[in-house]
Structure 1
């Protein structure tokens, strides 16, 4: 595989081929905090699309805007300027109630801290997105959830509460919960940050398998080159802008590129 070299991508450049369907995108997105001399541009005119059915990693040095980008694309935060789309839905100016429903039905989340409800057992945590939406899984959805539970080895743990599980088991529960509703897009924010390296590899393999076998669209924010090497596509951010985009790359190449970004920061 060729070595990674710096490649500048302006906000006007297409991040993905125009014919490739996108599950989410931002157009000239800006996000600013503060005013006057203290104003900080976390995002500075970012245009980026997340392709359907692919595993995209979003990387960058601390303060590059990667977490802010995920938050605005997921409807957890608003942009100062530009537009945000989930599929064909312009969510830029949606109200809190509309965004809550949209996230519940179309977006899944996997966080570094697992975010399981400690008073609920595994089965109830997995069903939580349906409970919050006031509905029960359909027969097809129930079969899908059963398949995920068996595939991830959680069948014997369904009556256990989070504190009775290992970190890896808790993250597997979080992944099943995120996949249960078959959302348009899953956002994963440093999903291996609290796991040992072996368990982290298992979780990344699960996410990659969800994308390649089941066509799940995933956007993962990470600073870890090893984690990013599991993705089909890597987007690098620097100073709130898209700096480069690469296809699947080895961890060593990603690390080398990141080091170059930090040296030029």
Structure 2
């Protein structure tokens, strides 16, 4: 199914997307004719075994990689048609990122890291944006950590800073790449609950790549990827249901 670029209610989408690496006999097809849309104000998990293409799909939707064929849209902007400078501006203003390794700037304080998207855009936050950032900092329990640097924080606190930074500019969509991969179980669950709350309470669209059924069980929707294709698309499910689905996928591989 190919999506019209005016498809309502979709914050991001790809149409007939393929991605290949290498050439000739060594060509690897990471994505194979994928068409899918990400709905607004929803927490979507993208699941699949290693090498399934799930991270490639996220990177292309986020404008971090280019498709071999097909089109990529963020809202009404076809990002697959933008040049590098335009892509950089779009990512800075309209996309948020949360990484497994946190990716905080070690020389900046918590406050400096959270405000970094505005600095990179060469502007100060507006009054309403300052109020929003203050609300984020308070809700994430970071108000007493603003002058600390990343090395003075626990892993969970660092990921909270990364989430605040990703949400600071109210981006169209936040992409989270294995956001609990470096966290213990309890802290990871707290981070997942924060992401789910961002979608539920603040209408933030979130796409999370994960291989963890427990992480995926916090999402509103789960896309299953195998061999470069989306093979299933389901609503919220329990960790046990997701595990059974993954086991069936692996047996069929």
Q: TM-score w.r.t. structure 2 length?
A: 0.97
Match of 1:112 among 87, 100, 103: 100
Quote the RMSD (CA, aligned, Å). 1.1
Change (3 A) 1:260 1:13: farther
1:51–1:42: structure 2 CA closer, same or farther, 3 Å change rule?
A: same
Q: Which residue of 1 aligns with 2:109?
A: 121
Displacement of 1:36 in angstroms is 1.4
| Equivalent of 1:90 in 66, 78, 98 | 78
SS in 1 for 2:124: coil
1:230 to 206, 218, 222: 218
Asked if 1 retains the 8 angstrom alpha-carbon contact of 2:2 and 2:16, the reply is no
Correspondence 1:239 to 2:227: yes
Stretches of structure 1 that go unaligned for 5 or more consecutive residues are 1-11
Q: 1:167-182 maps to which residues of 2 (within 5 A)? A: 167-182=155-170
Answer whether contact 2:39 2:205 (CA < 8 A) is retained: yes
Deviations 1:80-117 (CA, angstroms, capped at 9, x unpaired): 00000000101112111000000000000000000000
Superimposed CA distance per residue, residues 8-49 of structure 1 (whole angstroms, 9 cap, x where no aligned partner) = xxxx277xxx97511110000000011111111100000010
Q: Paired residue for 1:81, among 57, 63, 69?
A: 69
So what's the TM-score if we normalise by structure 1? 0.93
1:189 alignment counterpart? 177
Q: What is the alpha-carbon distance in structure 2 between the residues aligned to residue 146 and residue 113 of structure 1?
A: 24
Name structure 2 gaps, 5 residues minimum: none
Distance 1:117 1:153 in 2: 19
Pick one of 190, 207, 210 that aligns with 2:198: 210
